Amino acid sequence: MSNEGRPGLQLVDATGLRVAVVSATWNADICDQLHARAIAVGKECGAEVSEYRVVGALELGVVVQELADNFDAVVALGCVIKGGTPHFDYVCDSVTQALTRIALDSRTPIGNGVLTTLTHEQAVDRSGVPGSMEDKGGESMLAALDSALVLSQIRRATR
């Protein structure tokens, strides 16, 4: 896992923005941590945060699509750990394509915090627990809020 090139994301002033967090419950220990970190960062930035849960990563797309029409940004969180079959590849590809399509079609920022790891240990190291290398829940929230602010600036300037 490489952190090379990762920007140092700073908290943003998201006062007045509405953001939804939708998290899978599969691999609950990881997803609960991602969920908690995203919510904490969103609130720290001043955003109004709404929370939703789904069973697995494949269920994220349809819920994110519904939320994208009603929020300034959406954060999708999950954890897919590779097993011994190609199922991992299909799930990861499907989720990534769905979230990308929803963001483009709705013009709503979607923070993709779906971890795709080879092992549980790699997922823990990206989950934002104390001592972990990364905080993908918090980072996904910051990326979504930052993009929502940029879009708001563009939309004001082009009216």
Active-site residues, by number, are 87
145 known ligand binder:
no
Q: How many CB atoms lie within 10 A of CB 121?
A: 9
For residue 24, which of 70, 80, 66, 67 has the smallest C-alpha distance? 80
80 known ligand binder:
yes
Q: Ramachandran region of residue 83, left (φ > 0), alpha (ψ -120 to 50) or beta?
A: beta
| Sheet of 18-24, strands arranged across | 48-54, 18-24, 73-81, 110-117
Measured distance CA(132)–CA(117) in Å, rounded: 15
Measured distance CA(114)–CA(34) in Å, rounded: 9
126 known ligand binder:
yes
59 known ligand binder:
yes
112 known ligand binder:
yes
81 known ligand binder:
yes
83 known ligand binder:
no
149 known ligand binder:
no
Measured distance CA(78)–CA(100) in Å, rounded: 15
68 known ligand binder:
no
Residue set of the binding site for 5-amino-6-(D-ribitylamino)uracil: 26, 57-59, 79-81, 112
Annotated binding site for (2S)-2-hydroxy-3-oxobutyl phosphate: 84-85, 126
Binding residues, by number, are 26, 57-59, 79-81, 84-85, 112, 126
